[in-house]
A and B are shown apart, each in its own frame.
Chain A
Amino acid sequence: MYLYNEQDQKIVDQRVEQFRGQTRRFLAGELDEEEFKQLRLRNGLYVQLHAPMLRVAIPYGLLSSEQLRMLAHIGRKYDKDYGHISTRQNIQFNWPALERVPDILAELATVQMHAIQTSGNCIRNVTTDHLAGVADDEIEDPRQYCEMVRQWSTLHPEFDWLPRKFKIAFSGATYDRAAVQVHDIGIYIVKNEQGETGFKIIVGGGLGRTPIIGVTIREFLEKKYLLSYLEAILRIYNLEGRRDNIYKARIKILVRALGIDVFKQKVEAEWARIKDAALLLDGETLTRIQQHFAPPVYDKNAAADVSFTRWLSNDKAFSTWVTRNVVKHKVDGYRIVYVSLKAPNAPPGDISSEQMDTVAALADQYSMGMIRTTHDQNLVLADVKQHDLYELWHVLDKHQLATPNIGTLNDMICCPGMDFCSLANAGSLSIARQINQCFDDLDYLYDLGDIKIKMSGCVNACGHHHVGHIGILGVDKNGAEFYQFTLGGSADNRISLGKRLGPAIAHAKVAQTIEDILLVYKNERFEGEVFLDTVQRIGIAPFKARVYGQPEVKPGSKSETKRKVESNASY
């Protein structure tokens, strides 16, 4: 991972002191609410319903065990003993006291962490594939480029006051696990006809209230031009993006208004002017950063282990967990482990301080001391020897971190919703709870296969509902919480925005609606066909008919016996 040098450290240290001064000026009445808001957002600090919320950056989702221990400590000392992994691979604390935030940031700085640019109208934390460096479908490890972009975008003097927030994502694999095409700038690492590695640049994607899939602005960009090309895009956006209407201020609206050809022409004219100057990446810079992401030293004998297969056949619970939560590693004898933060009795993405300490210790013992966060709100231990999986599983299981539900219906993406967020129109956590209570039979979930439910409490779409196979959006109908369903969305290479199912559904009917949808899928699917494929093949009509046309369920059907009464238990 990238390790700070003296200069990196100085930047975060000085930023902490700057923010301490800003907080003092605010508390002394020298900065008004709005001015302080602009400054605190750029340091990750929101003011939410109950308390401030601090969003700490996890650059491209990569953490050391030492950093995770610090996050556990922050949770314990300044918050209510937990944190929440966000859909952009960051971590959020929901209960810090405003006047103590400078102290939190100072503690974070001791382990090379910060909250710089995790909010506000600036370039946000760069995200990437959580399997970077270990996936077997990878062209090149994207983290080195993420780090270059992190450095370029951190405290960039020109782009701290953009028309609106700006999100960049990278994928270096053939399968897109980073939702690249719904970012302001999405970057795929690709090979050209000559076999050289470079970048395909996509611009103007985004979710929010106007979901748009990005368009390709450049099919192939040589590596050395990465930063100059980004700078040219940002400059055109900063100068020409709309500032009169917050809902029309994202780059996607500018790209759409100008058309990609005109937008590209402007970007490339600017790029031509700057491309061979200060931002040109020379071989030395590339190598210097690449060194930080060199593969760890793997045990050559790891594949010789025979205990793993023995445990697989002797322990059903273990083998179930391996099937769902463990995936192939590019190195033989190693596996990638998903640490599920989707235990049925907890809000999706939440992790207690004690669990963080546990994962940090496991990372040290079994996975090179590193942890990744995923945009699906789970964690990954990326370099585990197959020999160690059984022991690892026992510890994870003991700490409610081994629910074997990765990729299933219960592995929901969910924003904090009305329980915490002042923007939300409806709760999303209570819906997650309802779904978990209704679908608690793992065998049934496994039979349904891979299904991504993504849920947002308002149109800002923090839960990425547009790209959920089943998307759920909370809306307010005369003070009551209703939920708008979309079907057939996808965030991977075959990107698509979900289609609206019909009128919004009442709060109490959400789980039942999902059951109805799944019943149609089960009846219609071909052998081995996953939910998304069925939806895309048969279209939305049969689902619509089931949900709105024939509300009653046949007595004795599988679906009927699975239904449970919603309880009022709360998190």
Chain B
Amino acid sequence: MQVIKDSCIVEYPWSLLGEETPLGKGNAALSLARYRAEKATLLVRDSAAGRIGIVINCDTSLAEIADELEAISLVVFDCQLYTDGRVFSQVRLLRQQYGYPEDIMVIGDLLQDQLRSLERCGVNVFWPRDSIDLTRVLPALSEITVRYQSS
């Protein structure tokens, strides 16, 4: 899939698996429910087969996934509504409080005008909307280059 990662458009070697799609080779992000259900199998999976990520949304409490973070290589926030600003705080806490070092991705209902703030909070991978032309979105990340806050 094509995403914006660290301010560049790149081919991202991950797939977001639906509930029914079988887990094949390669990096895959699963819903939290599916991750939990298949956790026993996932943990013994050969790391060469690919890494595992989880997809959560704004209703998921971070405390709930804290114990999983060690084993997962991508956290995806699936935003249902662009005005729901909880994701900004959740991402920040995931970085600051939980010290999560791997990729944090946001997908779903977002405005390009929100990407820079999300990036500042700790998101480094964007896949804003299915149909969106990433080359047109990319400049939104550099519209405002200065800031008052330290991050």
Contacts and interface: CB of A to CB of B under 8 A. Distances in A.
Interface of A: 7, 10-11, 14-15, 17-18, 21-22, 35, 38-39, 121, 151-152, 154-163, 235, 238-239, 243, 273-274, 278-279
Contact of B85 (A15, A162, A273): A162
Contacts, number: 83
Contacts of B146: 7, 10-11, 14
B143 A17 contact: yes
Interface of B: 82-86, 88-90, 92-93, 96-97, 111, 113-114, 116-118, 120-121, 143-151
B84 to A, nearest CB: 6
B88 A155 contact: no
A157 B148 contact: no
B86 A238 contact: yes
Given A151-B148, A152-B148, A273-B97, 12 more contacts: A11-B146, A38-B83, A39-B111, A39-B113, A121-B83, A154-B148, A157-B88, A157-B120, A158-B88, A163-B85, A235-B89, A278-B151
A18 B113 contact: yes
Contact of B149 (A21, A152, A239): A152
Given A235-B89, A239-B90, A161 B143 contact: no
Contacts of B113: 18, 22, 39
A155 B111 contact: no
- Chain A interface mostly helix, strand, loop or mixed? helix
Nearest to B81: A243
Contacts of B92: 158, 235
Contact of B88 (A151, A160, A273): A160
B89 A21 contact: no
A-B pairs with lowest CB-CB distance, top 8: A161-B85, A157-B120, A157-B117, A278-B150, A151-B148, A158-B88, A18-B143, A14-B144
A152 B148 CA distance: 6
A468 B47 CA distance: 68
Contacts of B144: 11, 14-15, 18, 155
B65 to A, nearest CB: 15
Nearest to B117: A157
Contact of A160 (B85, B147, B151): B85
Contacts of B121: 157-158
A239 B84 contact: no
Contact of A238 (B85, B118, B145, B147): B85
A74 to B, nearest CB: 23
Contacts of A154: 148
A101 to B, nearest CB: 16
A21 B117 contact: no
A49 B89 CA distance: 36
A11 B116 CA distance: 14
A155 B149 CA distance: 9
Contacts of A157: 88, 116-118, 120-121, 147, 149, 151
